[in-house]
Structure 1
Amino acid sequence: MAIRGVPSAREMTVEDFKLWLKQFDVDGDGRISRGELREALRRRGGWFTTIKADRAVRRADKDNNGFVDNAEVENLIAFAQKDLGMKIST
């Protein structure tokens, strides 16, 4: 069942989530931009992906550089679980 526009096809581990996210790092800089996150959400079948990606980066990006890096990915996981309804287990 889809929750808030993001289908939860299966439960992911944190490592699976990081690997899934890494495939959208098109410039290979090790960080996820709003555009890259928007594409990840879009490919997962999400709706309103621009708004959700903007909100996710704002909440996860603690140093306000506009990107989610490895140190901030836990914040992104928390957002994905709470606001996108994704099931991510440890």
Structure 2
Amino acid sequence: MNCCNCSKKSKCKGCMNKCFPVPLTKVQVKAILQRFDSDGDRRLSKQELESALYYIGSHLPGWRATQALNSADRNHDGYINHGEMDGIVEYVWQRGYTIS
């Protein structure tokens, strides 16, 4: 993947755009989290959250997954269900992960 929206295969040689990290949008965060629902049960376990957080660049994905669950798991069942998804998206988005 290029670091900008140019069509060059190399990292912007000759491209006028600078390569800066771009913050993830809430839509992107939600799509990434949903992609890590590995068993297809439409909810996220701590392990699935940890994998998603590792993918987006968390330095401590296990700790961050625990914090995310504590923040968004309203019924305290250890999973993020459909009704809790907006809360987990907000939590992750506020951490400022980027695409580089």
TM-score normalised to structure 2 length:
0.68
In the alignment, structure 1 residue 50 sits paired with structure 2 residue 76: no
Contact 2:50–2:62 (8 Å) recurs in 1: yes
Aligned to 2:96: 85
Larger Rg computed on CA atoms: 2
- The one-character-per-residue Cα deviations of 1:38-81 (angstroms, maximum 9, x if unpaired) are 01111112111110000101110001110011100111122123
Question: How far is the alpha carbon of 1:14 from its aligned partner?
Answer: 3.4
The structure that is helix-richer by fraction is 1
The structure that is strand-richer by fraction is 1
Aligned to 2:12: none
> How many Å separate the matches in 2 of 1:40 and 1:50?
10
Structure 2: gaps of 5 or more residues: 1-20
Residue 45 to residue 11, structure 1, CA distance change in 2 (3 Å)? closer
Instruction: Within 5 Å, give how 1:63-82 maps onto structure 2.
Output: 63-82=75-94
> How many Å separate the matches in 2 of 1:67 and 1:42?
18
Percent identity, aligned pairs only? 28
Aligned to 1:20: 32
Aligned length: 78
Structure 1: gaps of 5 or more residues: 1-8
Aligned to 1:6: none
Question: How far is the alpha carbon of 1:13 from its aligned partner?
Answer: 4.0
In the alignment, structure 1 residue 36 sits paired with structure 2 residue 48: yes
Residue 12 to residue 45, structure 1, CA distance change in 2 (3 Å)? closer
Question: How far is the alpha carbon of 1:86 from its aligned partner?
Answer: 3.9
